[in-house]
Structure 1
Amino acid sequence: MREVFQQELAEVQDRLAEIARLVAISIEKATRAFNKSDVTLAEEVIADDDKIDELTVQLDELAITILARQQPVARDLRIVVSALRISASLERMGDMSTHISQLARYRFPDKVIPKSLRPTFAEMGALDVKIANMLAELLTTEDMALAEAIRNEDDKVDALHLSVFDAVLGETWKGQAADTVDATLASRYHERFADHAVSIAKKVQYLGTGDWQQPAPADA
């Protein structure tokens, strides 16, 4: 029975890594669709989100079955409970990719963001893609250095997010009301995507080290 239980735990972790890889593909496509106003790619991301949702439901059902049948304790219990929370965050990351793609679809054939902000969103999207790929690797390898790297990249996303707000609220902003709304929403989606990745990284870090404390700043 113990061997079966360990196999089930390994399957939970494998499924998390699989969903994370799909999320990484989703955000990569979403950012391309957004930046290039590619409606075909946007529709692909929106359609593929059903697969991410389906896999998260299946994972949750497996985790609940393990809880009911195996009644795990200590670290094994933390793994299963954390898996439920991580799957929820991954599902939300997939939703953020979908929301970004929906903006591209709504504004097609125009681009969503005014020219002055496009470099900012290109950088923000590239950071989200980098974070998603690191997260997929973290869930596969449990390399704790990746957890720290994700948090550092999230700081860059946060700074860009704030710069978007500064731009749309500034006196030199020439965008229309729709431009302001689109820029604000898109920036928020990018920022929340990265935040969910940080949340997952913290859970993996806790499982690996038993330490839930905030890491020291890089320049401390």
Structure 2
Amino acid sequence: MQYKIVPVTPFMQNATIIWCDQTMQGAIIDPGGETECLLAEVSALGITLSKLLLTHSHVDHAGGTQDIADTLNLPIEGPHRDDQFWIDIFEQQIQQFGFPGARVFSTNRWLEEGDTVTVGEETLEVYFCPGHTPGHVIFFHRDSKLAQVGDVLFKGSIGRTDFPKGDHATLINAIKTKLWPLGDDVRFIPGHGPMGTFGEERRSNPFVGDSVG
């Protein structure tokens, strides 16, 4: 599986194009905006999109989803159904955070712990990791030891929990019980900022490293 990170919108959210080498079928994880830019990248890579994947329902991650889905007639998979709360107030998010081109989306498939999603011949495992939002999920590609973690974990930090229905203890528990067991050598793509590894975060992250608590 290959990937390309495309930071979009003033929030510099890491929309990620992933694709299968064998079939050149692809998906975009968290198409937060700048949809023309994202589709131009897809075209330049020679990829045929088959679906859109969402880690959670904050507008900076999901704002461009419905536009792309409608343009290419693609299904939307994710997040977990507990993020319906954030979809219900999506218009408020658009106004509050200044995303004039964003549109409310409707998912075709809620994702649960233990589900898988396929992109061409590649399979991503789904892990339910609430705390930043109540229905946050992450995607893990076991063969390449690559995780797309949305706003659960960042290089040197963790996701905010001061939004409605966020919970700090729940987020810490998700990181320690869902992410760390995947392995120290797993590379992760966060929702914002540079990539890292779980091992590095366990050693040095001031919020969730092994030396904390």
Give the TM-score, by structure 2 length: 0.28
Would you tell me which structure has more helix in proportion to its own residues?
1
Q: Which of 1 and 2 has higher RCO (CA within 8 Å, sep 6+)?
A: 1
- What TM-score, normalized by structure 1, do the two folds share? 0.28
Structure with the higher strand share, 1 or 2:
2
